[in-house]
Amino acid sequence: MDFNSPQIQENIERILGKADNIVLHSAVPFKYGYEMDGRADVYQYRNHINGVVYITGDLIGQKQKASDAGKYELMICHRTDQKWGPNLISALSYYTLDSSINSGETMDIGGFASSENTVKAIIFDKYAGFNIGLKKFGLMLVLGITEDELEWKRRYGGSKLIEELKAKNIYPFTDLMRKSILEQ
């Protein structure tokens, strides 16, 4: 079963609403592989939150490493149209085939963050899940965090950081120039 199967699409639409008619296609399709610079296509949804949800569309059906989200697509949310987030999740697509990604785990985003951005890392969170038969599927949120928040996560844990981001009304949005929750 892959991303384009009717059952997968129905469940994703139940969560996010109808997809926009825009697909951000990768210049080199995912199927050509990492070595050929292949990337995942990205789909837009505007009917779920007051902003834009972007999700990859090539990962379900691939041999991903085990995750608390089951077989999943990566997801990022912005308050307005952005190129940065869709490019990030598209580039991360092959990482999901080599490494297990679970809620509360973090990753430094190094070269993806410019020097003026306050967001320097990401935290993953199982945003939504569904079952088809006995198989588990989901959407894994990629959420930008600051260096201070990354250090805070190391001390108190990923689930606590996610709780704080929700309490401060930051979750599920990635805003590259926001203040740390420790400054609010």
Measured CA to CA, the distance from residue 10 to residue 18 in angstroms comes to 9
**Both structure tokens of 130:** 């569904």
Measured CA to CA, the distance from residue 72 to residue 53 in angstroms comes to 15
- Host domain of residue 56: 6-167
Our count of domains for the chain comes to 1
100 in any annotated domain: yes
Mean pLDDT of 128-140: 95
The helix (H) or strand (E) run that includes residue 150 is: helix 147-156
75 in any annotated domain: yes
pLDDT (tens digit per residue) in 12-30: 999 999 999 989 998 888 8
174 in any annotated domain: no
180 in any annotated domain: no
Would you say residue 170 has pLDDT above 90? yes
173 in any annotated domain: no
Quote the pLDDT of residue 184.
67
177 C-beta neighbours (distance < 10 Å), count: 8
pLDDT (tens digit per residue) in 75-106: 999 999 999 999 999 999 999 999 999 999 99
From the list 110, 89, 95, 114, the residue with the least C-alpha distance to 24 is: 89
Q: Report percent pLDDT > 90 for the chain.
A: 76
Measured CA to CA, the distance from residue 115 to residue 106 in angstroms comes to 19
Tell me what the pLDDT averaged over the chain comes to.
Answer: 92
181 in any annotated domain: no
Would you say residue 66 has pLDDT above 70? yes
Question: How much is the pTM?
Answer: 0.94
What is the band of 118 on the pLDDT scale with cuts at 50, 70, 90?
Answer: confident
Quote the pLDDT of residue 183.
84
178 in any annotated domain: no
**Helices (H), ranges, 17-123:** 84-92, 95-98
What is the band of 150 on the pLDDT scale with cuts at 50, 70, 90?
Answer: very high
Quote the pLDDT of residue 38.
86
